[in-house]
C-alpha cells in the first residue's frame, strides 16, 4: 500500500525535498473558445443554404440561448430544475408588453427581457434555493405554474390564453428592418446567440464560475474554504435568468407573439431534454442538443405526421443509451480513443 503511494508521489517530482516551483505542468489545451465562432460561421452558412427555413432556424437560435442558460444552472451549479421556462416566459412577456406599450427598439427590448428574467430568477431563487434534490425540483415546477397562472389571469396585459400579439420591433440599430422573409430576425438571433456564448464562457471561466463548480461538487467543502454556497447558487441562478430572459425577448421580437406555452412546464422539460441530449457542463453541448432536437423534430413531424413522436422517443433513448454524456461527449470519446490508439502505436 505505502509502496504504491510512494510511486504515485515520486512520479514527476525530482525528489522528496526539492522545492520545484518552476516545474509546473503546462496547462491543458482547451478548444472550447472555438464554439462561438463555429456557431457564427455555421449560422451564416445555413443562411445561404436553407433560405426557406429561416423561421425555424431563428427559433432554434433563440432556443439554443435558452438551453445555454439552463446549462449555467444545471451544468455548472448542479441545480436540477423543471422551471426554467419561468425566466424565459417572464423575459418574453416583459419584452412583448414593453413593445406594445412603451418602446420598440429591439435591443432595448432584449435588455428589458433580460432584466425581467434576472429579477424573476433572483427573487424566486432566493426563496427556493435552500432546498435540494426532489424538493427543489417540485419548487421550480411550482414557480412556473404560478407565473403561468399570473400570465393567464392578467389578460389585459398578456392577452391570456389568446397570447400577446402586435410586437412590431423598429429597425435594428435604426438600419435593418425586420423583413417578411425573416432574414433580419435570423441574423439578429444568431448574433445574439454568439454573443451569449462568448459571455457565458467568460462567466464559467471566471473566479465565480470556478467557485460554482466547487459548489456543484461539494457545498460543504466550499464552506470550509470560507464561501457561502447559497450565495453562489442564487447569483448564478439570476445570471442564468438574464440569459433566459434575453432568449425569451428574442423569441418575442423575432416571432411577434408571446403565448402561455412560453411559461409552461413542458417548455421547461423540453429545455432539459435538449440539454441532456447535447451534453451538460460544456455550453456548446446546449447548442448542439438544441439544433439536433429541433431539426429531428422538424424533419420527423414533416415526413410522418402520425408517428413522429414515437421516433423522437426512440432517438432520445438511443442517444441516452449509447452516449450517456450527450452528443458532445461523442467527440471527446473519439479523441480519447484515438489518443489511446496513438499511445499504443508508440509502445
Partner 1 sequence: MTILLEVQGLSKNFGGLQVSSDISMSLKAGDRCALIGPNGAGKTTFVNLVTGVLPPTAGAIRLDGRDVTKLSAADRVRRGLIRSFQVARLFKSMTVREHMELAVLQRDRRTFRLFASVAKTAGLADEVAECLGLMGLGAAAETPVGSLAYGQQRLLEIALALAMRPKVLILDEPAAGVPHSESQRILDAIDRLPKDLAVLMIEHDMDLVSRFASSIVVLAQGKLLCSGATRDVMADPRVREVYLGSRANAH
**3-class DSSP state of 279:** coil
Q: Quick one: which of 25, 134, 302, 347 contacts partner 1 (CB under 8 A)?
A: 25
Is residue 329 close enough to count as binding partner 1 by CB under 8 A? Answer: no
Classify residue 295 as exposed, middle or buried by CB count within 10 Å of its CB (0-12, 13-18, 19+).
middle
Region of 207 please: left (phi>0), alpha (psi -120 to 50) or beta: alpha
Nearer Cβ to partner 1 (217/343) = 217
Nearer Cβ to partner 1 (109/115) = 115
Q: Quick one: which of 64, 197, 203, 253 contacts partner 1 (CB under 8 A)?
A: 203
**3-class DSSP state of 104:** coil
Nearer Cβ to partner 1 (97/242) = 242
Is residue 24 close enough to count as binding partner 1 by CB under 8 A? Answer: yes
DSSP letter string, 199-257: HHHHHHTSHHHHHHHHHHH-HHHHHHTT--HHHHHHHHHHHHHHHHHHHHHHHHHHHS-
Region of 17-25, 67-75, 90-98, 288-296 interacting with partner 1 (CB under 8 A): 17-25
Is residue 21 close enough to count as binding partner 1 by CB under 8 A? Answer: yes
Region of 26-34, 39-47, 189-197, 243-251 interacting with partner 1 (CB under 8 A): 26-34
Give CA–CA dist 223/104, Å, rounded: 46
Cell of 284: 456548446
Give CA–CA dist 171/108, Å, rounded: 12
| Helix or strand (DSSP H, E) at 149 | helix 133-153
SS3 content of the chain, % helix, strand, coil (to 5): 75, 0, 25
Q: 211-250: which residues touch partner 1 (CB under 8 A)? A: 211, 213-214, 217-218, 220-228, 232, 235, 239
Binding-residue pattern over the window 45 to 64 for partner 1, x denoting contact by CB under 8 A: --------------------
Nearer Cβ to partner 1 (153/340) = 340
Report the nearest approach of partner 1 to the CB of residue 319 (Å). Answer: 22
Is residue 17 close enough to count as binding partner 1 by CB under 8 A? Answer: yes
Give CA–CA dist 328/319, Å, rounded: 11
Nearest to 280 by CA among 314, 233, 327, 236: 327
Is residue 339 close enough to count as binding partner 1 by CB under 8 A? Answer: no
Is residue 76 close enough to count as binding partner 1 by CB under 8 A? Answer: no
Is residue 346 close enough to count as binding partner 1 by CB under 8 A? Answer: no
Give CA–CA dist 97/93, Å, rounded: 6
Nearer Cβ to partner 1 (110/203) = 203
Q: What residues make contact with partner 1 under the rule CB under 8 A?
A: 2, 4-9, 11-13, 16-28, 202-203, 205-211, 213-214, 217-218, 220-228, 232, 235, 239
Amino acid at each position: 500500500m505505502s509502496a504504491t503511494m510512494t510511486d504515485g508521489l515520486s512520479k514527476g517530482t525530482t525528489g522528496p525535498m526539492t522545492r520545484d516551483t518552476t516545474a509546473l505542468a503546462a496547462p491543458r489545451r482547451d478548444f472550447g473558445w472555438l464554439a462561438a465562432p463555429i456557431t457564427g460561421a455555421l449560422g451564416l452558412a445555413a443562411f445561404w443554404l436553407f433560405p426557406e427555413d429561416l423561421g425555424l432556424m431563428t427559433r432554434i437560435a433563440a432556443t439554443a440561448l435558452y438551453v445555454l442558460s439552463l446549462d449555467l444552472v444545471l451544468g455548472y451549479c448542479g441545480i436540477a430544475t423543471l422551471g426554467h421556462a419561468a425566466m424565459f416566459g417572464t423575459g418574453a412577456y416583459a419584452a412583448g408588453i414593453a413593445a406594445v406599450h412603451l418602446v420598440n427598439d429591439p435591443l432595448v427590448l432584449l435588455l428589458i427581457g433580460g432584466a425581467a428574467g434576472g429579477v424573476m430568477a433572483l427573487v424566486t431563487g432566493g426563496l427556493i434555493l435552500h432546498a435540494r434534490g426532489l424538493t427543489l425540483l417540485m419548487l421550480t415546477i411550482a414557480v412556473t405554474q404560478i407565473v403561468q397562472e399570473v400570465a393567464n389571469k392578467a389578460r389585459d396585459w398578456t392577452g391570456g390564453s389568446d397570447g400577446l400579439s402586435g410586437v412590431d420591433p423598429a429597425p435594428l440599430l435604426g438600419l435593418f428592418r425586420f423583413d417578411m422573409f425573416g432574414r433580419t430576425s435570423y441574423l439578429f438571433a444568431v448574433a445574439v446567440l454568439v454573443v451569449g456564448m462568448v459571455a457565458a464562457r467568460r462567466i464559467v471561466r471566471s473566479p465565480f464560475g470556478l467557485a460554482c463548480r466547487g459548489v456543484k461538487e461539494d457545498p460543504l467543502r466550499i464552506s470550509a474554504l470560507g464561501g457561502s454556497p447559497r450565495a453562489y447558487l442564487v447569483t448564478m441562478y439570476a445570471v442564468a435568468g438574464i440569459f433566459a430572459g434575453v432568449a425569451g425577448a428574442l423569441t418575442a421580437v423575432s416571432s411577434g407573439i408571446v403565448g402561455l406555452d412560453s411559461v409552461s412546464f413542458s417548455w421547461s422539460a423540453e429545455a432539459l431534454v435538449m440539454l441532456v441530449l447535447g451534453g451538460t457542463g460544456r455550453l456548446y453541448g446546449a447548442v448542439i442538443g438544441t439544433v439536433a432536437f429541433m431539426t429531428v423534430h422538424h424533419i420527423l413531424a414533416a415526413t410522418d405526421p402520425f408517428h413522429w413522436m414515437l421516433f423522437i422517443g426512440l432517438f432520445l433513448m438511443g442517444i441516452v443509451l449509447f452516449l450517456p454524456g450527450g452528443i458532445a461527449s461523442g467527440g471527446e470519446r473519439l479523441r480519447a480513443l484515438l489518443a489511446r490508439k496513438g499511445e499504443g502505436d508508440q509502445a
